[in-house]
Every structure is written in C-alpha cells, then in structure tokens.
Amino acid sequence: MDDSILVVNCGSSSLKLAIFDGNLENRATALAERLNTENATAKVHMGDQQPVPLPANADHHAALVTLIEHLRSAGVLQAAPRAIGHRVVHGGEDFTDAALITAEVIEAIDRCSALAPLHNPVNLVGIDAARTLFPEVPQVAVFDTAFHQSLPPKAFHYALPRRFYRDWGVRRYGFHGTSHQFMASEAARLLGQPVEQTSIISAHLGNGCSITAIRDGRSVDTSMGLTPLEGLVMGTRSGDIDPGLFDFLMGKGLSAKEVHRTLNQDSGLLGLSGETNDMRALGERAEAGHAGCQLAIDVFCFRLARYIGAMMASLDKLDALVFTGGIGENSAPVRAQTLSHLALMGFRLEPAANASHGRQNDQRISGADSRFPILVIPTNEELVIARSARDHGQRSG
C-alpha cells in the first residue's frame, strides 16, 4: 500500500478518477464518457493526455477496472492506495458528513436511490468495483447533500402536507455541497479570517448550477431542492417553474416521463436558445445577432441575480460573493451582466480584474467602491473528497 488517495466520481454515463499523493497534490486524472454505449471512450491525464481503449458498451465497472490497470502500468498507482473517496450524490438525512463505507452505509445509500435514481445506483456500482479491486483499503463516501444538512427547517421544508416529509422524506436537500464547502474554506483563507466566522454567497455555475448562502461556514439556504432540478436556470435543466406546468403539459398529451425528460434534458440554456447549452457558444452566437441565444443569456443572468438577492435574507453579514464552476470561473460577461442587476445592493465590478477572472488580483474582481468583495475561485471537489477520504480512512485504522 502506498501513500496515495484515489477519488472515484461516477456520473450517470461517466466516470472520473483522480489520484492524489500524501500531501494532497494531484498526480493524475482520468475520465471515461458515454458509458453503456458503443461509443464509450476514456482518457488519462498525467502531464499529457493519453487515450485509453474501452470495450464497446463498457459500463462503470469495466471502465474503472480498465483505467486502474492503465494507471498501474504507467507507474502512477504502483500499489493499493491508502484510502479511496467516492462521490455520492444523495445521502438524504442519513449523512451530515462523509462516512466510512460499511454494509450499513451501502444500505442507506441504496435507500436514497429513490431520491437520485440516475446517480446513486451508479455510485454504488463504483463503490462495489473499487471494493472488489481493493478489498483491504478504507473507502469513504462523500455526499453532495451532506454540507446542506445544516439548513434550518424554515429553509428546507416545502409548504406541503407534513406527512409528505414524515413518510417520504420530501424536503429540500441541496447539491454541489463539496463545491460550496470548498468555497467557504477558500474564501475564508483569501479574506484572512476563520471559516467559522465567514459568511458568503457561493454561486456554482456550470452545466448544473446552484447557489448557497453560507453563514459562519455552514450552509443555511441553497437553490436546489429535493432533486437537482430546482433553482437556477442550468445547461439543460429548467430550474424553477410553476408546478401547474405539469398538468398543463400532460393535458397537451405529454406523458409524465416526457415532461420529466423535457425539464431535465431539453430545457435551460438549450431550450431557451434552441441551439446549445454551451455558454461560450451562446455568447458568440448572441453577438452575431441570434435572438434565442441572447434570450438564454438574459434569463440565466437575471434569474441568478434574483437568487443572489434572495440568499441575502439568510445572512446577517456578507463577507464575499463568490463565483465558481465552469461558467462562474470563466465567463466575465455573465458575471458582469448578472451584477448589473444588483447595483442597488452595492455590488460593483472592476472591469479589468473581471476580464482576467481575478487571477492577477488575489481572485478579487470587485471595484474599490463595491459594498461587498466579489471573488472568483476555481472549485476543486476532488480535493475535498480526497481530504475526507484521508481523514476518515485514518480514523478507520
């Protein structure tokens, strides 16, 4: 057994791996995509990118075994890792922190599959495959929902009959918890204050988007709910809609399954633009005069601004507004347009710092006259998982 930490992140049709050394420095990453199709592909990054052949229709188990064998042959994973961390999307109310994986933990993750049917089952496949490959290695589950278990009842309850919560667990859970947790710690570090005394609004913007109010290092409100569909406009997800839309669309002949697919896969930026869910492409086409692409950007930024304002209701102070995720870190126009709606609250950008994404300015993009600091912080969910795996794995020993 060597000193490395292996991170396993199984998506619905993808698998991401990351290997960290004992000092939590990243040594290699790997990605398999389009799993369970004839076009399954994989690649490994170890300073350069290397394609890794996968059998047609490779599933998560086959992809994990293939990638581990490749990493072994490349000398990156010469022995069994010290610990393995698994991203698990939904932990329900069972988990408020990462957990060492046992038979009881696996049963609990399986029970939560009803709340995340596309993700928890494949998370369990990754856990089973890794335990088969490394039966003696401590394995740790790190839950997207755990960071949000500090939400107060006024923030997590829906205004529904209480028996729905009591009998079926219907409530707001929140997601992207590892990213928001990392934002809290990194913002505190950059501001030079303890995380326990730091309050921020964290906007994770990518293909999936969520925003969280973090008071004194703890999540107190967030935009995603029972599922990742609630909240902000996303790449292909609608975000908030009128629940009456379900009956309306079903009255037009759509089945419940078709409505679900439409709201999750055909809506958001893709649905509004009719073209793409890639923010860079949307910007280019909007500049060329495409009305649908401009509409998609306008709705995305306006809804984000509304949520930023709403999150302030959960805080008694605001130490910083933080942008992260692929769009949040890299789209200066989105940040500028969003904050143009919030001038009344005193948010002001420094255009040059915003254009460089804060990289030459200690991650700050706020102007000198801004009421609140505005930061751009690259997220590192794999590092959070690796740290949790290391810490919980040590406790098991």
Task: Give how far the C-alpha of residue 90 lies from the chain's centroid of Cα atoms, to the nearest Å.
Answer: 12
**Of 323, 324, 326, 316, the residue nearest 349 (C-alpha):** 323
- In this prediction, residue 201 carries a pLDDT of 98
pTM over 0.85: yes
Q: Give the C-alpha separation, 140 to 280, whole Å.
A: 36
Residue 144 among the catalytic residues: yes
Name the token pair of 23: 């000092």
Low-confidence ranges of the chain (pLDDT < 70): 1, 395-397
End-to-end CA distance of the chain: 13
Q: Give the bridge partners for 87, in sequence order.
A: 142
- In this prediction, residue 203 carries a pLDDT of 98
Q: Which tens digits make up the pLDDT trace of 133-171? A: 999 999 999 999 999 999 999 999 999 999 999 999 999
3-state secondary structure of 27: strand
Phi (first) and psi of residue 358, to 5 degrees: 75, 5
Share of the chain above pLDDT 90, in %: 85
Name the token pair of 271: 């649905």
- In this prediction, residue 397 carries a pLDDT of 56
Cα separations (Å) of 361 from 198, 201, 322, 346, 366?
20, 20, 14, 20, 10
Active-site position among 59, 94, 144, 221 = 144
- In this prediction, residue 12 carries a pLDDT of 78
Q: Which tens digits make up the pLDDT trace of 332-357? A: 999 999 999 999 999 999 999 999 99
Q: Which tens digits make up the pLDDT trace of 214-244? A: 999 999 999 999 999 999 999 999 999 999 9
